[in-house]
Amino acid sequence: MRSLNNSEITTLQNQGCFSPDWSGIKVSDNFSTGDIHHVRFQGDIKLGNLGGEIETIGGEKKTSGLFNCQIKNCEIGNDVLIDNVHQVQNYRISDNVVIENVDTISVNGPTSFGNGFEIEALNEGGGRNLMIFDRLSAQLAYMLVCYRHDPDLIAAINRMIKNYAGEKTSETGDIGPGTKIINSGSIYNVNIGEHATIRGVTLLEDGTINSNSQAPVFVGDGVIAKHFMILSGSKVDSGALIDKSFIGQAVQAGKQFSAENCVFFANT
């Protein structure tokens, strides 16, 4: 990575871009200013190569670049399209990501992205708390909730989960390659894996979306999710309300379904 030269800074300014400190921006050796217009840069920025072709939702082809957005403390990969976004803050954005017509995507201070969050499973009165994390299995959840007669075992497993959550804690989030986020509201403190599609969500907060190229995740219109895990192959759509819940592999939730303090495992 290298710093911008004076000619590139002047070109960006002529294209409606602004930064309080241009020295905070680092770019790839083959960087071109041609596809960056009306962008406000703040903090430490790393930019890959832009200007190549990228496919958006529905198969439409567009030119990658940064347009009409505010970017703060981000690392942006090659052929990323960010267009009409109020703010993207504290994220590593991988190659071939599309973010269009979104309010805010931000990490606000240290977060574990939902890992280690305690929910009240099985007993609504409490006493059977379960810490969710992105590798939770049905077998482990059963042990943690139902083996309360063995407090030493429960304490040992919970220590391991807390250590794992500590390893996941960061002030910077990740958006995996090939992910598409369009026409959505706010996303706070959410890690997003590869090839996820997030379309029309209202709010995502404090969670992890463990999508991958073999089993992508879809999160759709009107969804509100807080303190959550969504694993690979899942679909959450149609105004579903998810709070303090674990959505396992290939789970489908929709039609305004509401879940609180719940765990759903494979193929539910």
Q: Distance between the two ends of the chain, CA-based, in angstroms?
A: 46
- For 240-257, the pLDDT digits (tens) are 999 999 999 999 999 999
Structure confidence at residue 128 as a pLDDT band (50, 70, 90): confident
Higher-pLDDT residue of 57 and 131 is: 131
Global confidence as pTM = 0.94
Confidence at residue 188, expressed as pLDDT on a 0 to 100 scale: 98
Sole residue written with tokens 């070109």: 11
Residue pair 199/183 in contact by the 8 Å Cβ criterion: yes
Confidence at residue 192, expressed as pLDDT on a 0 to 100 scale: 98
Is the predicted pLDDT of residue 123 greater than 80, yes or no?
no
- For 158-217, the pLDDT digits (tens) are 999 999 999 999 999 999 999 999 999 999 999 999 999 999 999 999 999 999 999 999
- For 30-44, the pLDDT digits (tens) are 899 999 999 999 999
Over the chain, what is the mean pLDDT? 95
Structure confidence at residue 142 as a pLDDT band (50, 70, 90): very high
Average pLDDT over residues 4-25: 96
Nearest to 185 by CA among 166, 169, 205, 213: 205
Confidence at residue 42, expressed as pLDDT on a 0 to 100 scale: 97
Give the whole-number percent of the chain exceeding pLDDT 70.
98
Give the whole-number percent of the chain exceeding pLDDT 90.
92
Q: How far apart, in whole angstroms, are the C-alpha atoms of residue 120 and residue 255? A: 24
What residue type is 93 in one-letter code?
A: I
- For 187-203, the pLDDT digits (tens) are 999 999 999 999 999 99
Confidence at residue 127, expressed as pLDDT on a 0 to 100 scale: 65
User: Could you please report the per-residue DSSP string of 93-122?
Assistant: E-TT-EEEEEEEEE--SSB-TTTTEEEE-S
Nearest to 105 by CA among 126, 84, 124, 122: 84
